[in-house]
Homo-oligomer: A and B are copies of this chain.
Amino acid sequence: MTDIETRIRDSFARQSMMQTLGAEIDEVSEGKVVITAPILPSSRQQHDVAHAALSFAIGDTAAGYAALTKMPDDQEVMTAEIKINLLAPGAGDYLRATGRVIKPGRRLVVVTAEVHAITESSEKLIAILQGTMVPVAKQG
C-alpha cells in the first residue's frame, strides 16, 4: 500500500459516519478515490431506496480523499462547498462513488464525483457532484 493510501485508510477508519453507512474504500490512486456502500435498511428514504444523504456522503468523501492525494503529507482536507445533482433513484445492490481532482491547487482543489447504483447486470449513474476542497494543517 502506498503512503497516501495508508493515510487515507487511517483517516477513513476514524470517520464513524462511514462505518454507520457501511462504506468502504475500494480504490486509491493519484487524483482518484473510489468508495462503495451498501444500501442498508438504515440508509433509506421514504420509498425504500437510498437516501440522497448516502450518495452525498460517499460522493463528498471520495472527492475529498481524491483531493488529499494531491496535498503534502502535513495537510488534511475539508469540504468548502459541494453541489449534488440527483439523476435517478438510488436503487440497486450497492452504490459506488468515484471522486476525481479536476484542478489541484495550494489553496483550493476543485473536484467532481460520480455516484453509480450497481447491480449484477447494470450500473446506472444516479448523482454527480462538483465542489471545492481546502487543505488544512493536520491536527494532533
Contact = CB atoms under 8 A, between A and B. Distances in A.
Interface of A: 11-12, 14-17, 19-21, 41-47, 51-54, 56-57, 60-61, 76, 78-88, 102-103, 107-108, 110, 112, 125, 128, 130-132, 134, 139
Copies of this protein in the complex: 4
Contacts of A15: 44-46, 51
A126 to B, nearest CB: 9
A127 to B, nearest CB: 9
A128 B125 contact: no
Nearest to A11: B46
A132 B132 contact: yes
Given A81-B85, A83-B130, 18 more contacts: A14-B46, A15-B46, A16-B44, A17-B45, A20-B42, A20-B43, A52-B57, A56-B57, A56-B60, A80-B80, A80-B86, A80-B132, A81-B83, A87-B110, A103-B125, A128-B130, A130-B130, A132-B132
